[in-house]
Structure 1
C-alpha cells in the first residue's frame, strides 16, 4: 500500500472540507449530486472521446498502481545481475540457460535467453530497447488519460456553475432563494477543481513516476546483460549499475 497516496488524498479533501467547516459552512451545502453528475460525467465523457477504448480500460486498471505499486527494487536488480555475471564468468554464458528458464520476469527471461543464444551485443541492445520503448509508450496512455481528465475537469465545473446560474436567473421572482441558488451553482466549480487537482493530476503524476522506475529497472537489466555478454568484471558491472540508480543511494 502506498501510504503517500492515501495520506495525500486524506490531506487534500480534509483541507478543503475542514476549511469549509472552520468557515462555518455546513458540509451538506457541498453535497450536490447534480453537480457531481455534471462534472464527473462531462469530464470523463470528454476524456473518453480522446482515447481508444483499450487505453481507457487500461487507465482505470492502472489506478491500482497509485495505491498498490509493484515492488521495484533497484538494489535487488543489481544483486541479481551480479549473480548472473559471476556465474557466467566462472562457467560461461551457457550456464545462464537455467536462469532463463526459471526467471519469472518476462523481460529478464527474454534478455538472458538472447545472451545464451549468442546474439550480437548491438542486436541485443536494439531488441531490448525496443521492448522498453514499447512498454513506455503503452504506459504513457494511462498517464495522458488522467492528465487530460485533469485538464477538462475545471472547465466542466465552470459549465456546471453556468448551468446553475441559468437556473437561478430563470427564477429571480423568489429573491429569498437567490443567494442559496448561486452558492449551489458554484459547487460544480469546486468539484471540477478538486477532481482535477486532488485526484486526476496527482494520479497521473504518480503513474508517471512508477513508469520511470520500471523503465530504469529495465535499462539497468539491459546494461547489465550486455556487460555480462562482453565478459566485464562483476565488480565493475556492480559499480556501473549502481551509477544508474545513483539517485537512490
Structure 2
C-alpha cells in the first residue's frame, strides 16, 4: 500500500472539509443535480473519447496508485546475485526449479528463455517487445485519468451555466437569487475538486510508477542477459548497481 497516496488524499480532503465546516455546514455544499452533472458528464465524455474496455480498465489502474508495492531494485539485485552464483556453480539449468517461486511474470519469462537456451539477442528482443507494450498500457491508463481531470472542470462550468440560466428564470423573486447562485457555483466546485484532488494527482502518480517500473524492467533485462552470457557474478553485480544511486548500491563481500 502506498502511504503517500493515502496521506495525500486524507490531507487534501480533510483540509478542504475543515475549511468548509469552519464557515458553514457541509450540507450547504451537498447538491445531487450538481454531482450528477459533473460525475455523469465526466464519465460520459470519457466513454466518447475512449473505447469501453479501456475506460473500464481505469478501475484497475487507479488501484495501482494505492495498493501496488514494487520490489526494490536492491532486492532484485540480491536475487540476481543468487541466480548468477548458482548458474556459475551448477549450470544454467539449475535455475529451472526456481521459476515456480518467482511471482514477477517478466522476470520468470526472462529466466525461462535463458534456461531454454535462447541466444541473448533473441532474449533481448522478446523482453524489449514486452517492455514496449507495457509502456503503452501505462501511458494509456495515465492518459485516461488525466483526460478525466480535464473533463471534470469543464462539466462543472456547464453545470454552472445551467444553474445560472435557471436562476435568471426566477429573477422576479429576489429571495431565490442567492440560493440559486450558490447551487450554480457548486458544480464548478465539484469539478475542481475531482480534477485537482483526485484525477490529476493520480495521473501524475501513475506516470511516476510507470517510470519506476520501466527502470526495474531494464534492470531485470540487464541481469538476465548477463546470466545468459555466462558473465562473472561480480561483473553482473557492478552492472546492476549502476542502475542505483551510489548510496543505495550494495557490494557483496
Query: Does the TM-score normalized on the shorter chain lie above 0.5?
Result: yes
Which ranges of 4 or more aligned residues in structure 1 deviate by more than 4 Å? none
Q: Are the aligned partners of 1:72 and 1:214 in contact in 2 as well (CA < 8 Å)? A: no
User: 2:194 — aligned with what?
Assistant: 195
User: 2:12 — aligned with what?
Assistant: 12
Q: Distance in 2 between matches of 1:68 and 1:103?
A: 20
Q: Distance in 2 between matches of 1:176 and 1:115?
A: 78
In the TM superposition, 1:82-121 aligns within 5 A as 82-121=81-120
In the TM superposition, 1:31-70 aligns within 5 A as 31-70=30-69
Q: Are the aligned partners of 1:139 and 1:211 in contact in 2 as well (CA < 8 Å)? A: yes
User: 1:29 — aligned with what?
Assistant: 28
Q: Distance in 2 between matches of 1:53 and 1:98?
A: 41
Q: Kindly state the Cα deviation for residue 102 of structure 1 after the two structures are TM-superposed.
A: 4.0
User: 1:218 — aligned with what?
Assistant: 217
User: 2:166 — aligned with what?
Assistant: 167
Structure 2: tracts of 5 or more residues without a match:
249-253
Structure 1: tracts of 5 or more residues without a match:
none
When the two structures are aligned, how many residues end up with a matched partner?
248
Q: Are the aligned partners of 2:2 and 2:69 in contact in 1 as well (CA < 8 Å)? A: no
Q: Are the aligned partners of 1:59 and 1:141 in contact in 2 as well (CA < 8 Å)? A: no
Q: Distance in 1 between matches of 2:63 and 2:142?
A: 13
**RMSD of aligned residue pairs (Cα, Å):** 1.7
Q: Are the aligned partners of 1:72 and 1:213 in contact in 2 as well (CA < 8 Å)? A: no
Query: TM-score, normalization: structure 2?
Result: 0.92
Q: Which deviations, in whole Å up to 9, do the C-alpha atoms of 1:50-92 show, x marking residues without a partner?
A: 1112211211122221221133222221111111111111222
